[in-house]
Amino acid sequence: MNTKAKPTDDINLFADWPQALDPREKELHERYDPEFLSFLNRLKKANKKINQTILIKAYNTALYFHRSHKRKSGDPYFDHLFSVAQILSELHMDSTTIAAGFLHDVVEDTECTYEDLVKEFNQTIADLVEGCLLYTSPSPRDR
């Protein structure tokens, strides 16, 4: 059995992705895919046990559900999600936790549900995302 990991340079980011890309999503992928592939390469060098399949799925899912969301600055909201995933990787978190970092706002901000995350990912990722909702600080206008 060949256990050698496939180089991320050869990854098809859409192998398991059922939706056709809409123009907003395509634009985001053009912007983030090179950085994401570099991110995966760094993770694999640091940890041979990294589950790139779940990370690719979380990345694609987060981009899909947040494709039209912008920050007040006009930048894509996905910047925040990618930053969270990068911080978690720098803290040497596992693939499940990093995937939850990409997904941490999908239940709160999109039509994606907790049950969707359980079905598409697993109970642990769904629970981590749900846990983020419990610790969200109130918005400045609520203080």
Q: Is 16 a catalytic residue?
A: no
* Cα–Cα distance measured from residue 89 to residue 40, given in angstroms and rounded to the nearest whole number: 10
Residue in 105, 108, 111, 130 annotated catalytic: 108
Residue in 109, 120, 127, 142 annotated catalytic: 109
Q: Which DSSP category does 91 fall into?
A: T
Q: Pick from 138, 139, 110: which is nearest to 129 by CA?
A: 110
Q: Is 142 a catalytic residue?
A: no
- Per-residue three-class SS string for 61-113: HHHHHCCCCECCCCCECHHHHHHHHHHHHHCCCCHHHHHHHHHCCHHHHCCCC
List active site positions.
Answer: 108-109
